[in-house]
C-alpha cells in the first residue's frame, strides 16, 4: 500500500466512522482490507481506493468501513459491569422511577449482540426486582453485517463457552444443530439498529443506562469529546454511563464525574452536585 493510498483510506475512515488510524497501524488496515480485495476480486489497494473514490456511498465503500469495525466481544465480558448493573445501577434506577415507566438501556457498539443479550438475561434473572416493569434495550452498531448475526441470536459452542455461566446457557438458549440460539423471550427484549456514533443522536429517547464500552479508544480526542457530549445529552439526568476499563471522560468532557470507587461508571456532574447538596441539607 502506497503512502498516498494509506492517507486516503485513513481520511475516508475517519470521516465515515471516526476511526483514527496512525501510520503504525498500516499493517492493520492492510490486513482488514485484504478481505475486501478478495471478496470483490480487486487486484490492489490502489484500485480499491480508486473505486471507493468514485462511489463513496456505494456498497464497496460500506464494506471498507465495515471491515474496520471492532467485533471482539463475549457474554459477560469483563464481568464487573454486569455485577454493577444488577447490584447497583438497576436497583437505583428502579427506585427513582415512577411505577409503569419503562427502563431504557442502550448497548452502543453492540457488535454481535452478546452484551445486549447478557443485559436482557440479567433483567430476566431479576424479574422480582422489576415487578413487571418493561425494560427496553436498544443495541446499535455501525456494521450491518454484524447486526444480522446479532439479530439471529445464534452462537457457536466456542462463543457460548466464553464467559457464559452454564445455568444461563441451559435457561436461555436452545440447541440448533451445532449452534446455540437465544430463546425468543430474551430475543424479544432487544431491538437492534444500524447506527454510526458520528451521527446525530436526536432519534433516541433518554436512556437510564448507556453501555459504551471498548469503542472510544479507537477515536481521536476531538471525536471522543463530541461523542461524550452527545451521550450526555441522551442520558437521563440521574443515568449511568458505563465505559471500558481503559476508557475515561477525564480531560475529554466536563459533563461527567466518576461514580465513587467504580472507575468504569460515570454520572452527570450536575446530578452528582445536586445529590451532594441534598445530602448536606438532609444532614
User: pLDDT, tens digit, for every residue of 125-169?
Assistant: 999 989 889 999 999 998 888 999 999 999 999 999 888 999 999
Beta bridge partners of 141: 194
Backbone angles phi and psi of 211, in degrees to 5:
-95, 115
**In angstroms, rounded to a whole number, what is the distance separating the alpha carbons of residues 231 and 241?**
8
Instruction: Identify the band that residue 17 occupies on the pLDDT scale cut at 50, 70 and 90.
Output: confident
Cell of 95: 427506585
- Pairing type for strands 173-176 and 179-182 reads antiparallel
Note every long-range contact of 130-134, with CB atoms under 8 Å and residues 24 or more positions apart, other chains counting.
130/94, 130/103, 133/94, 133/97, 133/99, 133/100, 133/101, 133/102, 133/103, 134/102, 134/103
The residues spanned by each domain of the chain are 3-67, 80-278
At 260 the pLDDT is 74
Site of grid cell 488510524: 21
Residue 75: how many other CB atoms lie within 10 Å: 21
Q: Give the CATH number of domain 3-67.
A: 1.10.155.10
At 61 the pLDDT is 86
CA 232, distance to chain mean position in Å, is: 15
- Whole-structure pTM value: 0.86
Homologous superfamily of domain range 80-278: Vaccinia Virus protein VP39 (3.40.50.150)
What pLDDT digit, counting tens, does each position of 185-196 carry? 999 999 999 999
Q: Which alpha helices (H) appear in the chain, and where do they start and end?
A: 3-17, 26-40, 45-54, 59-67, 80-84, 90-95, 114-125, 127-130, 144-152, 157-161, 166-172, 184-187, 221-234, 269-282
Amino acid at each position: 500500500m502506497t503512502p498516498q493510498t494509506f492517507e486516503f483510506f485513513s481520511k475516508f475512515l475517519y470521516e465515515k466512522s471516526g476511526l483514527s488510524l496512525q501510520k503504525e497501524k498500516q499493517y492493520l488496515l492492510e490486513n482488514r482490507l485484504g478481505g475486501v480485495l478478495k471478496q470483490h476480486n480487486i487486484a490492489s489497494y490502489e484500485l480499491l481506493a480508486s473505486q471507493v473514490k468514485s462511489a463513496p456511498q456505494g456498497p464497496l465503500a460500506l464494506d471498507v468501513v465495515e471491515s474496520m469495525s471492532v467485533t471482539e466481544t463475549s457474554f459477560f465480558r469483563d464481568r464487573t459491569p454486569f455485577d454493577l448493573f444488577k447490584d447497583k445501577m438497576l436497583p437505583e434506577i428502579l427506585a427513582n422511577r415512577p411505577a409503569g415507566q419503562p427502563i431504557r438501556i442502550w448497548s452502543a457498539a453492540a457488535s454481535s449482540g452478546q452484551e445486549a443479550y447478557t443485559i436482557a438475561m440479567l433483567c430476566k434473572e431479576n424479574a422480582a426486582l422489576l415487578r413487571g416493569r418493561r425494560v427496553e434495550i436498544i443495541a446499535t452498531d455501525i456494521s450491518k453485517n454484524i447486526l444480522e448475526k446479532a439479530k439471529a441470536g445464534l452462537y457457536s459452542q466456542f462463543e457460548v463457552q466464553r464467559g457464559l455461566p452454564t445455568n444461563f446457557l441451559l435457561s436461555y438458549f436452545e440447541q440448533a444443530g451445532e449452534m446455540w440460539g437465544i430463546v425468543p423471550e430474551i430475543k424479544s427484549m432487544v431491538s437492534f439498529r444500524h447506527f454510526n456514533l458520528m451521527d446525530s443522536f436526536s432519534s433516541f429517547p433518554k436512556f437510564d443506562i448507556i453501555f459504551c464500552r471498548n469503542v472510544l479508544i479507537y477515536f481521536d480526542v476531538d471525536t471522543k469529546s463530541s461523542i461524550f457530549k452527545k451521550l450526555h445529552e441522551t442520558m437521563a439526568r440521574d443515568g449511568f454511563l458505563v465505559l471500558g476499563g481503559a476508557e475515561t471522560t477525564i480531560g475529554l468532557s466536563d459533563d461527567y464525574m466518576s461514580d465513587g470507587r467504580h472507575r468504569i461508571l460515570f454520572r452527570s456532574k450536575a446530578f452528582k452536585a445536586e445529590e451532594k447538596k441534598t445530602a448536606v441539607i438532609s444532614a
